Amino acid sequence: MLRRTYTADSLVLRPNRDCFSMAGASKTLTFAVMLLGVAFFVISFSMVMFKDSNVKLPESPKSELSAGNVAGVTPRLSKKGEQQIQRLDTGNTVVTFGRQSMEMKHPLKNVTEGRGFMSTTALDKETMSEANASLAANYEQSNELDYREWNLEQARRKAILRETCAQHPNWNMSIERISRGFNLLWPFIYDDKYKVIYCTICKVASTTWKSVFLVLMGKYNSTQAVDLGQWYTLDRSLHTLQKLRNPAEIEKRLRTYKKFIFVREPFSRELSGYRNKLHKMNKYYQKTIGTKIIRQFRKNPDKEALQTGVGVTFTEFVKYLTKTPPESLDIHWRPMYKMVLPCAIEYDYIGHLETADWDTHNILKETGINHVVEIPSQKASNLSGSNDIFNGFFNELNASLVQDMYNTFKYDVELFGYPLPELIAKKLGRNP
């Protein structure tokens, strides 16, 4: 009897005790060849169908988000998370589930219409229905994880605020006292229908959030429609706690309404205020404050500079900041803690401009106004101090002046949990 064995060179027949006939071996070999032919046909046909159907499969989930590795996302937490991130290339856009799920509000619409992710030419309706159901489940799960992560970050921010306030008991005051201090209440904008209070800070997306409240008041249908040319009048029309002039009404709102605030890395905020009000052409600020700075901090100023206030240097500006009592500074560069009563008001949500999209999405949802107003994506502001513009201006300052500036704004750094920008830390002789 013969046994079949296969080598790299040929098919070899060798004697064996098995009851195997030559005819049987031949039939078995023929059947195997037929199976291989069928398999080759199926694989070839599948490749053609996948090529023509525009089907694009999702990439493998990515764990541990780092700066800029997903659609240019900046880190949202002080320590890296291990949340699963899944990106689906839909042809027209990239849908990222998780922290950036709000990039595309209706991902399933693109899927069901067959615009790239799943083509009706390749998959039957039942398969598409199952796939879309799975996609929806993943979308909801990732949103839930994102929301949980955001709540953890909110808890961290509020804990830092409480810990810092505990070191300064004199900053605390009762709601009753605040309600009678009308001069303290100008930054607090409220809406009675949605029972929400926003504390505005200049140079921290304040125009955007004031526009939200104009929409809630019914003055505009969207934030994009707000007429910035009429901003002075519109700004004065907003409802602020200061205008109530009734301590009982003020106290009721402070105790029962949801309250939120947006803050910003302090050194970046001061630079933004300088560039917007003094470095660029702004006749009002140059005339009222620029002339004052030049007169006080420039040696031998020329007549034109004294008259126009144009050309204030960043060094002169920082000297002005550090030599002026903080509470006397203009609101565009006054320390944040001097305006927002951080140890007296118990904020429900603390947004950071550096994570504006993430915080905005969740705050709108938490306050119940997400179905009324929509805020366009906001570009993340400088946090690390690594960009050329930031370093270009702060490199003008000597270490002594940087130390004076830190002394003026250190409580903003500590209360809101900001790390020092790398350049600032180096000039202060600290580890960033």
For residue 149, is pLDDT > 60? Answer: yes
pLDDT value at position 229? 85
* pLDDT for the residue 375: 85
* Least trusted range by pLDDT, from 3-12, 192-201, 328-337: 3-12
The DSSP secondary-structure symbol of 379 reads P
CB 61 within 8 A of CB 86: yes
Question: pLDDT tens digit string along 66-122?
Answer: 333 323 333 334 443 333 333 333 333 333 333 333 333 333 333 333 333 333 334
Confidence of residue 169 (pLDDT cuts 50, 70, 90): very high
Q: Is pLDDT larger for residue 359 or for residue 138?
A: 359
Q: Cβ(145)–Cβ(83) under 8 Å?
A: yes
Per-residue pLDDT band at 144 (split at 50, 70, 90) = confident
189/200 Cα distance (integer angstroms) = 7
Task: With beta carbons less than 8 A apart as the criterion, state whether 118 and 128 touch.
Answer: yes
30-34, 51-55, 216-220, range with the lowest pLDDT: 51-55
Per DSSP, which regions of 176-296 are E strands? 188-191, 196-199, 258-263
Q: Are 159 and 226 in contact (CB under 8 A)?
A: no
The residue type of 233 is: T
Nearest-angstrom CA–CA distance, 346 and 260: 9
Residue 192 has pLDDT above 60, yes or no: yes
> Helix (H, G, I), strand (E, B), or coil: what is residue 356?
helix
Confidence (pLDDT) at 343: 97
pLDDT value at residue 93: 31
**Mean per-residue pLDDT over the chain, rounded:** 76
Q: Quick one: pLDDT band at residue 1, thresholds 50, 70, 90?
A: very low
Q: Region 375-396: what's the mean pLDDT? A: 74
Q: In terms of pLDDT, which residue wins out, 227 or 116?
A: 227
> For the ranges 119-128, 287-296, 317-326, which has the lowest average pLDDT?
119-128
Provide mean pLDDT across the span 10-37: 46
Between 101 and 232, the more confident residue is 232
Q: Is the pLDDT of residue 56 over 50?
A: no
Q: What span, in angstroms and rounded, lies between the C-alpha atoms of 113 and 62?
A: 27
**Span of 2-11, 247-256, 312-321 with lowest mean pLDDT:** 2-11
Range of weakest confidence among 91-105, 186-200, 289-303, 324-338? 91-105
Cα distances (angstroms) measured from residue 318 to each of 85, 321, 330: 42, 5, 13
Q: Per-residue pLDDT averaged across 299-308, rounded?
A: 95
pLDDT in tens, 404-426: 999 999 999 999 999 999 999 99
pLDDT value at 322 more than 60:
yes
Residue 228: pLDDT band with limits 50, 70, 90: confident
Is the pLDDT assigned to residue 337 strictly greater than 80? yes
Q: What pLDDT score was predicted for residue 393? A: 96
- Is 155 buried (19+), middle (13-18) or exposed (0-12) by CB count in 10 A? exposed
219 vs 32: which has the higher pLDDT: 219
DSSP 240: B
- pLDDT, residue 232, reads 85
